Amino acid sequence: MLVRLWHDLWIGLFLILIVVGVFSGHGLLIGFAAMGLLVAGVSWLWDRLALEDVVYERTLSQSRVFMGEEVTLTVAVTNGKPVPLARLSVQDTIPLEVELLGVDTSVSSSPNAQTLRHLTSMAWYERIRWNYKLKSEHRGLHMLGPAQVESGDLFGFYSSEKSFSSRDYLLVYPTVAPLADLGFPASRPLGDVGGGNRMFEDASRPFGLREYQMGDPMKTVDWKATARMQELRVRTFEPSTSYSVVLVVDVDTTAHYWEGYSAANLERITLAAASVASYAAGQGYSLGLFSNGTPLLADRPMKISPSQSPDQLSIILEALATIRPMGIGQMWAQLAQNSRQFPLNATLVLVTAFFQPEMAEVVQTLKSRGYRLVVVHVGDGDWPQMPEGVLVYELRTYFEGIEYAGPFAPR
């Protein structure tokens, strides 16, 4: 603003010189002032056109990665007009959780952000690209942008700014580790997973023949075998089975929300849950998720119905990536209220870092309803005695080791 005021004062001075030159008859003074006004006019027009048809683009080679994986960030500026730019300054906003490799950034006015700067000049119809490598050791949905460009006239008298509000998002999944590396047994880490529906037969899986029994549908009769054996024979099929595993992710790390939360324990929870999800999906189980954590754009518990869809693991990892430290309510209450929505006889894998006494009663109730319970405890305290038949894993020792020395350490 001060620079523009100074330039305006110079224009006023040139006008005064012209008036003085006209009345005094000094042609040289008039010519000098007119030249100054011409330069000021050209500068003003150049500044008005400088950012016309200037486009800023930002591209990520991948929008979904795991913690520690590198991504290529490409930024490009295009000058789409026949007017060159003597100078162009570009500032893009990058979250602090994302590391730009081999690049110096500056402090941003936005909270928890850094600024990526470029300073260049551009010819007419020129396009310039910059490529960077970035990575993040922090799970979550990270927003890149907005960006701002600044340019002006050739002489530096004027300056204009233009904002590009477009944003790009980098989703960083939590780390996935083999269950054996976390302390689970190599064989049947979730115990005897149940939840299969054996009431219906799968016609695509023939099993054999048997004698006809009263009530068998006639469409199952094998007429060739009947003619050959001189008695009615029906085809049998293997039962249709779909084992269900529901991840129950408890984000509570303290007794009360006003006490804050343990960031280390929350990362243990997401790592353990992601690892169990990866194992269950690999085994072909019907996988679901329930958590007292809240989605980014909602104020209700996080629920994902069990499914064997090929995309189910990605959906659950996305949910775990964005899980927040403050839940919608205490898990024992949410679990008691919503448990009847789970498939009958499903295996519930409770991942938690903090024990609340009411949880033991809820676990007993769920077990009495026929659910199989697996408790994965990742916190620092000891987990109390659970009802008989509940499989409990204490993973504190394993997490303490990998957090300081292993490749799966939350950062």
pLDDT in tens, 227-236: 888 888 888 7
Angle 331-338/357-368 helices, nearest 10 degrees?
A: 20
**Are the CB atoms for 388 and 257 separated by under 8 Å?**
no
Looking at the fold, whether 381 and 260 belong to one and the same domain comes out as yes
Average pLDDT over residues 114-138: 95
Window from 74-78, 123-127, 160-164, 180-184 with minimum mean pLDDT: 180-184
pLDDT at residue 68, as a whole number: 92
Tell me the C-alpha distance between 230 and 212, whole Å.
Answer: 12
Over 70: is that where the pLDDT of 161 sits? yes
Reported as a pLDDT band with limits 50, 70 and 90, residue 282 is: very high
Number of structural domains in the chain: 3
User: Are both 190 and 312 inside the same structural domain?
Assistant: yes
Whole-number pLDDT of residue 183? 86
202 band by pLDDT with thresholds 50, 70 and 90: very low
Contact status, residue 60 vs residue 48, Cβ threshold 8 Å: no
Are 325 and 224 in a shared domain?
A: no
104 with 227, same domain: the answer is no
pLDDT digit string, tens, across residues 240-253: 445 899 999 999 88
122 and 246, same domain (yes or no):
no
Q: State yes or no: pLDDT of 307 exceeds 60.
A: yes
Whole-number pLDDT of residue 113: 94
Question: Is 79 within 8 Å of 132 (Cβ atoms)?
Answer: no
Residue 49: inside a domain, yes or no?
no
- For residue 17, tell me if it sits in a domain: no
The pLDDT of residue 180 is above 70:
yes
Burial 230-252 (b: 16+ CB within 10 A, else e): eeebbbbeeeeeebbbbbbbbbb
Residue 248 included in any domain: yes
In order of 41, 95, 266, 291, the CA distances from 323 in angstroms are: 56, 18, 9, 9
Using 50, 70 and 90 to split pLDDT, how confident is the model at 36? low
pLDDT at site 317:
95
Whether residue 202 is contained in a domain is answered as no
* 58 shares its domain with 76: yes
Main-chain phi, psi angles of 98, to 5 degrees: -105, 130
pLDDT at 305 over 80: yes
d(CA 410, CA 399): 9
Confirm whether 120 is domain-assigned: yes
Check pLDDT > 90 for residue 69: yes
Output phi, psi for 172, to 5 deg: -110, 115
Same domain for 102 and 122?
Answer: yes
Both tokens of 210, joined, read 């048997």
Rounded Cα distance, 338 and 330, in Å: 12
Asked if the model's pLDDT at residue 138 lies above 80, the reply is: yes
Bridge-partner residues for 374, per DSSP? Answer: 349, 391
Most confident of 41-45, 56-60, 220-224, 395-399: 56-60
Euclidean distance between CA atoms 7 and 385, whole angstroms: 79
Rounded mean pLDDT, 63-69: 94
**29 inside domain:** no
> What is the C-alpha to C-alpha distance for residues 355 and 234, in angstroms, rounded to an integer?
54
Task: Out of 157-166, 197-206, 279-288, 376-385, give the one with best mean pLDDT.
Answer: 279-288
Of residues 78 and 238, more confidence is placed in 78
Which pLDDT belongs to residue 164?
95
- Look at residue 221 and tell me whether its pLDDT is greater than 90: no
The CA distance from 395 to 105, in Å, is 39
pLDDT of residue 200: 43
- What CATH number is given to the structural domain containing 130? 2.60.40.10
pLDDT band at 34 (very low <50, low <70, confident <90, very high): low
CA distance 248 to 289: 6
More confident call, 73 vs 307: 73
Q: Which residues lie below 8 Å from residue 405, measured CB to CB, with a gap of 6+?
A: none
Bridge partners of residue 129, in order along the sequence = 76
Q: What is the pLDDT of residue 57?
A: 97
With respect to residue 139, please indicate whether it lies within any of the assigned structural domains.
yes
**What is the pLDDT averaged over residues 294-318?**
83
- Do 247 and 395 have their domain in common? yes
225 and 141 co-located in one domain: no
Average pLDDT estimate for 277-300: 84
Across the beta sheet with 98-100, what order do the strands follow? 54-60, 70-79, 127-136, 98-100
Tell me the per-residue pLDDT of 397-409, one tens digit each, with 9 for 90 and over.
888 877 665 444 5
CB neighbours of 25 closer than 8 A, spacing ≥ 6?
A: none
Residue 198 pLDDT class (50, 70, 90 cuts)? very low
What is the predicted pLDDT for the residue at 373? 94
| Same domain, residue pair 394 and 278 | yes
pLDDT score at 199: 40
Asked if the model's pLDDT at residue 21 lies above 60, the reply is yes
Same domain (yes/no): 306, 336? yes
| Greater model confidence, 161 or 28 | 161
Task: Establish whether the linkage from the previous residue to 306 is cis, with ω within 30° of 0.
Answer: no
pLDDT top residue among 328 and 198: 328
Sign of CA dihedral 189, 191, 197, 201: positive
Structural domain of 63:
54-173
Confidence of residue 121 (pLDDT cuts 50, 70, 90): very high
Provide the residue count of the chain: 411
> What would the DSSP string read from start to end of 383-396?
PPPPPTT-EEEE-H
Count of alpha carbons within 13 angstroms of residue 304, beta-carbon side: 28
Residues 163, 187, single domain; the answer is: no
For the domain that residue 377 is a member of, what is the CATH number? 3.40.50.410
Kindly state the helix (H) or strand (E) to which residue 23 belongs, with its residue range: helix 2-24
In a domain, 347, yes or no: yes
pTM for the whole thing?
0.78
pLDDT at 240: 43
Task: Give me the chain's average pLDDT, please.
Answer: 84
